[in-house]
Amino acid sequence: MKVAVVGATGLVGRNMLKILDERNFPVTELIPVASEKSSGSRISFRGKEYVVCTPAQAIEKGAQIALFSAGSGVSKEWAPKFAQAGCYVIDNSACWRMDPTKKLVIPEINGDVIEKGDYIIANPNCSTIQMLIAIADLHKRFKIKRIVVSTYQCITGTGKKAVDQMEAERDGKEPQTKAYPYRIDLNLLPHIDVFLENGYTKEEMKMVNETHKIMRDESIRVSPTTVRVPVLGGHSESINLEFEKPFEMEEIFSTLRGTAGVVVQDAVELENGGQPSAIGSIENLPYPMPLFTKDRDEVFVGRIRRDPSVENGINLWCVADNLRKGAATNTVQIAELLLEKGLV
């Protein structure tokens, strides 16, 4: 099994290598791929060293699966060339997500859509992945009418330049290069990606459009606000859901606890009669935080409570490691699906 990782030297690419190893993906030959600038450098994987090559060289080497995390420009140019050579491409950029001829996949939700001949498969946006993992089973049971979501997205979602900027600011230095137009340390930026004509950012509209495509339901109304926060790892989301069907809170908790990939961490427990009671002391109340989700593949959900302002509504708080389940892990899980289906 020859597996290419395109963008192997980047933050997500390095996580892809780590997760391929952790999940014992059957890699017989790794083909690390990066730009001409990094070509010729070496990467260690499972005790062996591999020489970083160019995309053209990876095709020549006969890659069977290619995990892409090198930006939309690289994906647009090279994914079709890999596909033409009979290599399955799983792309982590935004390039192919809304292409009607390409599948957009979260394995736990819509892995069934992958078929023979799907040589380019899109990996969703990190914020969309964790939100939909958390709420997909709730939608099946109670039918979501409307989602209002505010994200608190860490700087690793932007990349190494953002990390360097924040660390320089934190040390009282002037950053050599800037990923953001304003200071990020001790600040919040309500601006991720470019602004569109409707006043929303591209990142916000990704959450709208990708939700409809993955859930296969255009009727779900989605109102997003995405914010960049000075956190090194892990995206957080405040999610408000309005359902068509009535529910008891016990049903919400039991559905979430039974959802694949979700861990419930909540500071209340429901007594007989459905009344929440606080548990623990102020020092150890359980709820999801980026501090404790690093290097984890699960999506953590807490602060689960009924919304008294709307009929059939709830609020919840959702946190996940954006470089893992929000990117690299989901990509590797799609590759595992290709093997399970006998497509590779």
Q: Are 274 and 266 in contact (CB under 8 A)?
A: no
Active-site residue, 235 included? yes
In angstroms, the CA 9 to CA 42 distance is 10
Please provide the DSSP assignment of 38-78 as one string. Answer: TTT-EEEETTEEEE-B-HHHHHHTT-SEEEE-S-HHHHHHH
User: What is the rounded CA–CA span in Å between residue 266 and residue 339?
Assistant: 36
- What does residue 132 show for φ and ψ, rounded to 5 degrees? -70, -35
Alpha-helix residue ranges (DSSP H) falling in the chain: 11-22, 55-60, 72-84, 107-110, 126-142, 160-170, 202-215, 249-257, 290-293, 329-340
- Residue pair 165/174 in contact by the 8 Å Cβ criterion: no
In angstroms, the CA 191 to CA 211 distance is 20
The Cα–Cα gap between 106 and 134 comes to 12
Buried-state track 172-197, b at ≥16 Cβ within 10 A, e below 16:
eeebeebbbeeebeeeebeebbeeee
Please give the structure tokens belonging to residue 18. Answer: 């780590």
Choice among 87, 95, 126, 318 that is catalytic: 126
Q: Based on the residue annotation, tell me whether 212 is a catalytic residue of this protein.
A: no
CA-to-CA distance for 80 and 89, rounded, in angstroms?
9
Q: Side by side, which strands form the sheet with 144-153? A: 221-228, 144-153, 235-243, 313-320, 299-306, 262-264
- Tell me the two tokens of residue 333: 């899980």
DSSP code at position 177: S
Name which of 260, 263, 269 is nearest 330 in CA terms. 260
Active-site residue, selected from the candidate residues 53, 139, 235, 318: 235
**Which residues are catalytic, by number?**
126, 235
